[in-house]
Amino acid sequence: MIRINLLGTPKTKVRRMPKVTMSAPSVRMLSILAIVIAFGAVSFLYWRAQNQHEKIQVELRDVDKQLSALAGVKAAYTQKQKEVDALKHKFGVIDQLRANQNGPVQLLNTITETVNSTDAVWLSRMNDDGKAVSVDGMALSTTAVANLIGNLKKSGYFKTIELKETSQDESVKEYQAFTFTLVCEKQS
């Protein structure tokens, strides 16, 4: 194939770089130098990793000491917490006993004040079953029984008061007497 240059500019030749050849001793020297540098780098990295490992081991021992000290503190805290819970339970029982003790006292005070403020009424028996109180007694008239029921309602301690029965007592001959039974439901 024939080429014709129509532009008229001469064609430039591409120059190639001359090959540099190294002699065998210089190649060995470079290889040894590369090995020495690589060994130095690996030795430095190993030394640094070893130092970090030692620091981590020291920190790990310190953390283990702190952990064992904190385990003792946690055991002491748990023991104290159990004691506090036991005391709270005891105080709760004492408070409940006081509240339960106060209930009968209030009931007796209410009944006592009501009977004392009502004329011609005597109680012979009273039974408290928790929700209601059953009261047996004697009165000189049915009006006295009605006054007792009214006074019990005014006390505010009972929700409902029901007259279960009333009858004239035939065993008493000197005066007129009535026996009665009341069922009083307590307020909640």
Domain boundaries, the chain: 26-117, 120-186
DSSP string for residues in 125-183: EEEE-SSEEEEEEEESSHHHHHHHHHHHHHHSSEEEEEEEEEEE-TT--SS--EEEEEE
Q: Return the CATH number of the domain spanning residue range 120-186.
A: 3.30.1360
Characterise 147 by phi-psi region: left (phi > 0), alpha (psi -120 to 50), beta (else). alpha
What is the pLDDT at residue 30?
A: 87
Structure tokens at 134: 């059953």
Q: Are 128 and 111 in contact (CB under 8 A)?
A: no
Count CB atoms within 10 A of the CB of residue 31: 10
Q: Is the pLDDT of residue 102 over 70?
A: no
Q: Can you give the pTM of this predicted structure? A: 0.49
Mean pLDDT calculated for residue range 78-82:
96
Of the pLDDT bands very low, low, confident and very high (cuts 50, 70, 90), residue 96 is confident
